[in-house]
Chain A
Amino acid sequence: MPQEVGRQYKEIMGKYLERPSEEDLYVGQQFSRRFIEKEIAPEDVISIHKTALIELHPELQDEVWNSLDFLIEMMIHYGLTLREHQSLIRKQEAIQMEMNVATKVQDTLLKTKMPCVGGLDVGYISQPATQMNGDYVYFLNKKHESGVAVADVIGKGIPAALCMSMIKFGMDGLPDGNTSPQNVLGIINRIVEKSVDDSMFISMFYGKYNAEDTTFSYASAGHEPALHFNSRTGEFSELDAKGLLLGVKPDTEYEERSVVLNDGDFIAMMTDGVTETRTEEGFIDMNAIQNLLHDVKDKSAQQIAEHVYHHLAGLQNYRLSDDFTIVIFKKQPEQV
Chain B
Amino acid sequence: MQEMNLQVELLEQNSVQYFKVVGEIDAFTAPVLRERLAAVENVQGLKAELDLSEVDYMDSTGLGVFVGFYKAVSANGGHVKITGLNKRLNRLFEITGLNEIIDIEQKESEDHNATL
Which A residues contact B (CB, under 8 angstroms)?
Answer: 152, 154-156, 197-201, 203, 221-225, 240, 242-245, 248-249, 252, 272, 276, 283, 322
Contact = CB atoms under 8 A, between A and B. Distances in A.
Interface in B24-80: 27, 34, 59-61, 63-65, 67-68, 71-72
Given A224-B95, A322-B59, A201 B101 contact: no
Contact of A154 (B34, B63, B88, B100): B63
A174 to B, nearest CB: 22
Contact of A152 (B60, B72, B100, B101): B60
Contacts of B59: 272, 276, 322
Given A154-B61, A249-B101, A203 B96 contact: yes
23 contacts: A154-B63, A155-B61, A155-B64, A197-B68, A198-B67, A198-B68, A199-B68, A201-B64, A221-B97, A222-B95, A222-B98, A223-B95, A224-B95, A225-B95, A242-B97, A244-B97, A244-B100, A245-B67, A248-B67, A248-B71, A272-B60, A276-B59, A322-B59
A201 B67 contact: yes
Nearest to B62: A154
Contacts of A322: 59
A244 B64 contact: no
A245 B97 contact: yes
Contacts of A201: 64, 67
A154 B72 contact: no
A200 B60 CA distance: 10
A244 B67 CA distance: 11
Contacts of A242: 97, 100
B64 A199 contact: yes
Contacts, number: 55
Contacts of A283: 88
B59 to A, nearest CB: 7
Given A152-B60, A154-B61, A222-B95, A199 B34 contact: yes
Nearest to B75: A198
Best-surrounded residue of A221, A222, A242 (most CB of chain B within 10 A): A222
Given A154-B60, A154-B63, 6 more contacts: A155-B64, A197-B68, A201-B67, A221-B97, A222-B97, A248-B98
| Top 8 A-B residue pairs of the complex, sorted by shortest distance between their CB atoms | A199-B68, A244-B97, A222-B96, A198-B68, A199-B64, A154-B60, A154-B64, A198-B71
A283 to B, nearest CB: 8
Nearest to A241: B97
Contacts of B101: 244, 248-249
A200 B63 CA distance: 10
Contacts of A245: 67, 96-98
A290 B101 CA distance: 31
A249 B100 CA distance: 11
Contact of A243 (B60, B68, B97): B97
Contacts of B67: 198-199, 201, 245, 248
A199 B64 CA distance: 5
A249 B71 CA distance: 9
A175 B52 CA distance: 43
Contacts of B71: 198, 248
Nearest to B70: A248
B16 to A, nearest CB: 22
Contacts of A152: 60
A203 B95 CA distance: 10
